[in-house]
Structure 1
Amino acid sequence: MTRSLFARRKSGRGGSLHVLGNGCAVPIAAGETLLGAAVRGQIQFPHMCNVGECGACKCRLIKGHVRLKKDISRHVTPAELSAGFVLACQSLAESEEVAVEVPGIGGERSAAPAPVSTDATITRVTPLAPGVLALEVGLAAELRYVAGQVAQLTVPGVPGLGEPRCYSFAEAPDRASPRRALFHVRHVPGGAFTEWLFAADRTGARIRFSGPHGGFRYHEGERPLLCVAGGTGLAPIKAILEQAISDGRGRDATLVVGARTQKDLYALDAIASIRERWRGRFAFVPVLSQEPEGSRWAGREGHVTDYLREVAASLDACAAYLCGPPGMIDAGLDLLRGRIPPEHLHYDRFLDRGSVALAASLAA
C-alpha cells in the first residue's frame, strides 16, 4: 500500500471505490477523495468536517493504493497507518481499484452499529446553562449507537440548514427507547443552526437525522477512566460514563470538566447520579477559567490542562477520553501522549463550521 503522509501532486489518477458491506462500486474521479466518491455514490460514510480535522472518516485500506493530501498523524497513529488506516477525506486513489473497511458498514470485523437516515421531530428543548440547550428528538426509525458517537442533523426547507450539523449523543443508549435521541447544543453566535434553534420554541419541528457516525466511542475495559470535557464536550463524556456503569465493572474514574464560570457548569444532577451509581472511586473535578474575582468559588481555577499537568504522573494506567474545543484537546494530548498508550487514548475535537472553514482555507 502507498501511504506517504504528504501529497506531491495535486490529483490522483481516479478509479473505483468499493466499501466492504456495500454491494456496489462507485467511480472515483481524478483528484477526488475516497470520501467525496462515497458521498457522491450515496454511501453513508461517516464524516463531519471533510478537511482532516475531526477524524470521523477514519477507515482501513484493504485493497489498492492511496496518496494522502496532508499529514493525518493527529488522528492516525504510526501503528494504525502501518495497518492501513487512513482518513477518507484526505485520501486520493493511486490505483484503479480501492477497497476500504468502514466502521458500521459491513465487514466481519466491524462492531460499530450501522447508521440510519430517517425523519425526526424535535420533541423537547430544555435550557441547561446560559447558551446551552438539551435537544430531544423522536425518530421514525429505530436507532443503535455506542456512547461517544455523533449524529448529523439537518432542517429541510429552511435556508442554510440543508448542510448537516454534528452533535454527540448526550446519554448512553436506552434499549427501551430506541426511537429517541438526546443532544446538548451550544449557541454559536452566527451559526445558522443554533441561531435558528435558539430563536424560538422549536418543539414539533421536523428535521432529518443521520447516525450514528464517528470513531469516538466507549470501549469496555478494566483500566481506570480519565474523562476530560470542555463545554458541551460533556455530552459524550456523560454518555460514556453512563455506558460504563452498565458494564458492571468496578474501576476508578476521574471526570474533569472545564467551564468559564460556575453558571456554565451544567448537568450537575446527572453527574451526581453517575457518582452514586459508580462501582469504584469517582472524582469530579470542575475547573473554571473565568470565574469573577470575589466569588465564593472554592474549587480549582485555570484550565483543565493545569490539573492534568499536576496529576500526570498518576495517569499512566488510565484509559483517557477527551472531548471539547480543539485547543483544549490538543493541549491535553500533548500532556498525555507518551504516558497513556495510543490504544487507550480517545478524543473528539469539537469543530463548529467556522473552525472547519478556517481549516479548509489553510489547506487550500
Structure 2
Amino acid sequence: MSTQTEHKIALAFEDGITKFIPCGEDQTVADAAYQSKINIPFDCRDGACGTCKAFCESGDFDEGDFVDDAMTQDELDNGFCLPCQAKPRSDMVLQIRTTSVLAKTGPETFNATVTKVGPLSETVFELELEVEDRERLNFLPGQYVNITVPGSEETRSYSFATGPQEDKIAFLIKNTPNGLMTNWLKDVAKVGDKLEFEGPMGSFFLREPLQPVLLLAGGTGLAPVMSIMESLANDELLDVPVRLIYGANTSEDLVRLEDI
C-alpha cells in the first residue's frame, strides 16, 4: 500500500488572516481547500479562467495544465500559480486574492495557560503560554494574534516571540503606563491563569530566504524577529548570511540577548 506525501499549505488572505490546510502531492490546492471547507475563488477548475490565480510566497509545486488566458508563462516564472491546477511538492505559502470572510473562514480561537510571566526590563514584559490543542496552532514566523485581556472584552495584538516549532509560545509586551494589558501583567497575572486569543494574522512573515537576510528590530519589535530567527536557526538548508540590527532607548532595555 502506497503512502501519500502530505504538505502544509498556508493560505494568506487579504484581510491578514492565515489558514493552514493539509494537501497531498496528488491533490490540487483548490481541492484541499474545499475539503477543509475554505472557499477560495475559482470558476472553471480547468486552468482556463484564471479566477483562482495566487502568488506563491514560498514552496514548490507542479503547475499542472493551463492556458495563456488564465496565466502566462511569465507569470508562472515570477511565482504565480493556479490553485485549481497546482499540486504541492513542498509546504507552500499562497497569497489568496480575497478576504477570509468571503472565503467563509476566519481566525481560530485558542485557550491557553500562563506558564511564565514577568518583566525582562523596566519597559518589557514576557508572557509565556501553554496552548490547548497545540497541534492546531500553526503560524508563520513574524505573525501575531489578538489576546483577550483577562477580566475584559478587549483585545491586544502581539507578535509571537517564538518559532512555530516550539511547544510553548511567548510574547514580548511593552510596559505601557496604565495600559489595560500592562495593569493585568503587573498586578494580576500569575502562572496558571487562563486566557484566550485569536489568530494567526498578519502579512509580515518570513519568506523563503534565497538572498542575504537583514533583520531590523526596535524595542518589543524584537518579538516577530525572534520568531523568524528561531525558524532560520532550525533551517538545515539555510545557506545565506543573516544579520540583525537591534536597538532600544537604553542598554537596560535590550532583552533576550542570550537567546540572540
Q: Is the 8 A contact 2:110 2:198 kept in 1?
A: yes
Identify the structure with bigger relative contact order (alpha carbons < 8 Å, sequence gap 6+): 2
How far apart, in 1, do the equivalents of 2:208 and 2:141 lie? 11
Structure 2 CA distance for partners of 1:105 and 1:255, relative to 1, 3 Å: farther
Q: Is the 8 A contact 2:41 2:103 kept in 1?
A: no
Aligned residues: 172
Which residue does the alignment assign to 1:211? Answer: 199
Which residue does the alignment assign to 2:108? Answer: 116
The percentage of aligned residue pairs carrying the same residue is: 34
Q: Is the 8 A contact 1:155 1:206 kept in 2?
A: no
Answering whether residue 134 of structure 2 is matched by residue 164 of structure 1, we say no
Which residue does the alignment assign to 1:137? Answer: 129
Which residue does the alignment assign to 2:145? Answer: 151
Answering whether residue 193 of structure 2 is matched by residue 199 of structure 1, we say no
SS at match of 1:227: strand
Which residue does the alignment assign to 1:236? Answer: 224
Which residue does the alignment assign to 1:78? Answer: none
Instruction: Provide Cα deviations, 1:42-62, integer angstroms capped at 9, x if missing partner.
Output: xxx739xxxxxxxxxxxxx96
User: 2:98 corresponds to which letter in structure 1?
Assistant: E
User: 1:104 Cα deviation (Å)?
Assistant: 11
Answering whether residue 241 of structure 2 is matched by residue 270 of structure 1, we say no
Q: Is the 8 A contact 1:119 1:139 kept in 2?
A: yes
User: 1:106 Cα deviation (Å)?
Assistant: 6.4
Q: Is the 8 A contact 2:118 2:185 kept in 1?
A: no
User: 1:101 Cα deviation (Å)?
Assistant: 2.4
Which residue does the alignment assign to 1:261? Answer: 250
User: 1:146 Cα deviation (Å)?
Assistant: 1.1
How far apart, in 2, do the equivalents of 1:115 and 1:184 lie? 22
**Structure 2: gaps (5+ residues):** 1-10, 19-39, 43-79, 81-95
Q: 2:17 aligns with which of 38, 42, 46?
A: 46
How far apart, in 1, do the equivalents of 2:139 and 2:196 lie? 17
SS at match of 2:126: strand
Which residue does the alignment assign to 1:125? Answer: 117
Query: Superposition RMSD on alpha carbons, in Å?
Result: 3.3
**Structure 1: gaps (5+ residues):** 1-19, 22-33, 36-44, 48-60, 64-82, 84-98, 108-113, 272-364
User: 1:123 Cα deviation (Å)?
Assistant: 1.6
How far apart, in 2, do the equivalents of 1:122 and 1:105 lie? 34
Q: Is the 8 A contact 2:209 2:240 kept in 1?
A: no
Q: Is the 8 A contact 2:130 2:169 kept in 1?
A: yes
How far apart, in 2, do the equivalents of 1:103 and 1:256 lie? 34
How far apart, in 2, do the equivalents of 1:207 and 1:135 lie? 11
Structure 2 CA distance for partners of 1:221 and 1:103, relative to 1, 3 Å: farther
Structure 2 CA distance for partners of 1:242 and 1:204, relative to 1, 3 Å: same
Q: Is the 8 A contact 2:147 2:156 kept in 1?
A: yes
Structure 2 CA distance for partners of 1:242 and 1:162, relative to 1, 3 Å: same
How far apart, in 2, do the equivalents of 1:202 and 1:46 lie? 30
How far apart, in 2, do the equivalents of 1:181 and 1:162 lie? 22
How far apart, in 1, do the equivalents of 2:249 and 2:229 lie? 23
How far apart, in 1, do the equivalents of 2:146 and 2:97 lie? 22
Structure 2 CA distance for partners of 1:105 and 1:251, relative to 1, 3 Å: farther
SS at match of 1:165: strand
Trace 1:1-364 onto structure 2 (pairs within 5 A).
46=17, 101-102=98-99, 115-142=107-134, 143-156=137-150, 158=151, 161-174=152-165, 177=167, 180-248=168-236, 249-271=238-260
How far apart, in 2, do the equivalents of 1:154 and 1:244 lie? 30
User: What's the TM-score, normalizing by structure 1?
Assistant: 0.42
User: 1:199 Cα deviation (Å)?
Assistant: 1.9
How far apart, in 1, do the equivalents of 2:202 and 2:194 lie? 24
